[in-house]
Amino acid sequence: MPIDPAKAVAAEPRSAEISWDHKDVQLYHLGLGAGVPATDPDELRYTLESRLHVLPSFATVAGAGMGVVGGLSAPGIDIDLAAVLHGGQSITLHRPLPTRGRAVSTSRVAAVYDKGKAAVLVLRSEAADEDGPLWTSDASIFVRGEGGWGGDRGPSERLPLPDRAPDADVERPIREEQALLYRLSGDWNPLHADPEFAKLAGFDRPILHGLCSYGMTLKAVVDTLLDGDVTRVRSYRTRFAGIVFPGETLRIRMWAGDGRVQVAVTAVERDDAPVLADTLVAHS
């Protein structure tokens, strides 16, 4: 079997020095669609170095790190990228992210779950600098055709939506070239750029990175319900429930209450097909 669960989980963690500066942060924000309108003071916090703050989801790309694709080269894992989809993502922030930093990222395969017709890999990355921990990030990677060995199925937690109207309901357009820009932050999976590769993976055309919709959603929550203050975010998790294509529009519905915002994200042009589900932002 291309995945050896015991070997993957038992492998020694891998550590690497990572660094980033304002250009990396600005590029990431632009890849999420920041900067529209270009002179809006609220948007300049994402695009202008003299006013810059860092959206916490930047942790998923900071310094490239192990990354989703890089994590698939861990011992005990030998799989076809065409069979891979990002199943879920969580980040816990230990303190606000600086606009310029140098840290040590330690990465490992935290778990391998057997979903029957697929396997799920949990890739955990922890980053710390000289002042202590910065973030802990878990990426759940869905690998089609690699399950069925009788292993632990893992958690299947679902988060029912509140039975009331959302506190905010906004739409965010995805530009036609947005995946091409976003991938410059370090996710080079050809699924998001190469039409022929996308067809091999079963899609009519390249799809947007799940982590791009993830970042777009957090930005919408921060801008809409958290007074534009990125430092209020404590943790953020989601399950990638469906795909979205460049050129489509995300509908982002938010329910606020007691230090948390629950979110549902859908694709407007496809009758509100699910994109992100079981999504929760914890905040101060």
* C-alpha dist (Å) from residue 180 to 52, 54, 133, 188, 192: 23, 21, 32, 9, 7
As to burial, measured by CB atoms within 10 angstroms (0-12 exposed, 13-18 middle, 19+ buried), residue 260 is middle
DSSP code, position 246: T
Can you read off the two tokens belonging to residue 191? 């699924």
Q: Which of 192, 209, 278, 283 is catalytic?
A: 192
- SS3 assignment, position 152: coil
Q: Which of 187, 209, 223, 278 is catalytic?
A: 187
**Residue 271 annotated among the catalytic residues of the structure:** no
Q: What is the token pair recorded at 120?
A: 């799920």
190 vs 66, 110, 207, 212, CA distance in Å?
18, 26, 10, 15
Number of neighbours of residue 129 by Cβ within 10 angstroms = 15
DSSP secondary structure code for residue 60 in this structure: G
Kindly compute the dihedral angle of the four CA atoms of residues 219, 222, 224, 225, in this order, to the nearest 10 degrees. 150
Cα distance between residue 90 and residue 211, in whole Å: 11
Active-site residue flag, 53: no
Cα–Cα distance, 203 to 243 (Å, whole number): 10
Closest by CA to 146, choosing from 96, 60, 79, 218, is: 79
Which residues belong to the active site? 187, 192
